[in-house]
Amino acid sequence: MPFRCAVLDDFQNVATTLADWSAPEAGEEVEAVPFTEHFGDEEELAAALADFDCVVTLRERVPFPASLLDRLPRLRLLIASGMRNSVIDYAAAKANGVTVCGTESSSTPPVELTWALLLGLARGLVQESTALREGGPWQSTVGADLHGRRLGLLGLGKIGASVARVGLAFGMEVSAWSHHLTAGRAAEVGVRWAASKEELLAESDFVSIHLALGDRTRGLLGPAELALLKPTTYLVNTSRAAIVDQDALLAALREGRIAGAGVDVFDVEPLPADHPMRTAPRLLATPHLGYVSRANYERYYGQAVEGVRAYLAGAPVRVLG
């Protein structure tokens, strides 16, 4: 019987073409089965995964709580893309004899998508392209300039620092804030340190979020914080939806209290057909594409295969938990 691997949320159906799932050196046949549709609840997931030895899951879209792991007695290996995952119950995995491993992940794709969203908002690309293709008005927007404007970054880690360097290359004034950021670290990147998030929000023309989700960042931008943004300011979030109060953001967009928002992350994913984010005005939205690039997928699935081979050889790699 082959070692069966379920690959979840393979929406593009590329998992078996971007990596070689054969495992000859492990001495055991490996069968990879991609699932191109998202499972809506735990009941569906438990039924679908009952006959698999391994599950490969993308990022933190699918939770693996004890209630699910307890229902998968055949499961031996769980591989998640990335090297941290907040939706896996590691204690329950251990209790069920499940080894949890991760993969490396590049910070480059989310940096590039951040700028795609920011530029798309600033120059009205979707609106103007749609009008051109559908016979609409020839020019209907006046683009927002980047040069000389202030880019405010919430977070100056690896991704935030890369976003900052691009902003500086555009001739923008860049400032940054986070709970742990120091003036010295900001100076190393060549940006201005903001003493508070309130200061950063009030003075920025573009605000981009690059923070990890935790107790201190959940709901970091609520109604009071969004009210500090100027009516001409654009907000971009490629980090985690829960950092921004979603109802407050929708209200700000509908009431025209900010110029617009670029969003790649949502409170529910995939986004339901009737979700208000699908029809919100002044919103440029993408379906969580931050990590979705060929090079990153080759790394995810290639290292997932590597993880399977290592597990079968009795020496798991990149073990989490």
Which residues are known catalytic residues? 240, 269, 288
Task: Report residue 308: phi and psi, to 5°.
Answer: -65, -45
- Residues 117, 262: Cα–Cα separation, whole Å: 5
Peptide bond preceding 231 in cis form (omega within 30 of 0): no
User: Nearest to residue 10, comparing CAs of 23, 21, 2, 1?
Assistant: 21
Angstrom distance (rounded) from CA 241 to CA 219:
9
Torsion angle, alpha carbons of 251, 257, 258, 259, to 10: 110
DSSP of 200-212, one letter per residue? HHHH-SEEEE---
Gap between the Cα atoms of 303 and 103, Å rounded: 6
For the chain, report the end-to-end CA distance as a whole number of angstroms: 29
CA–chain centroid gap for 2, Å, is: 33
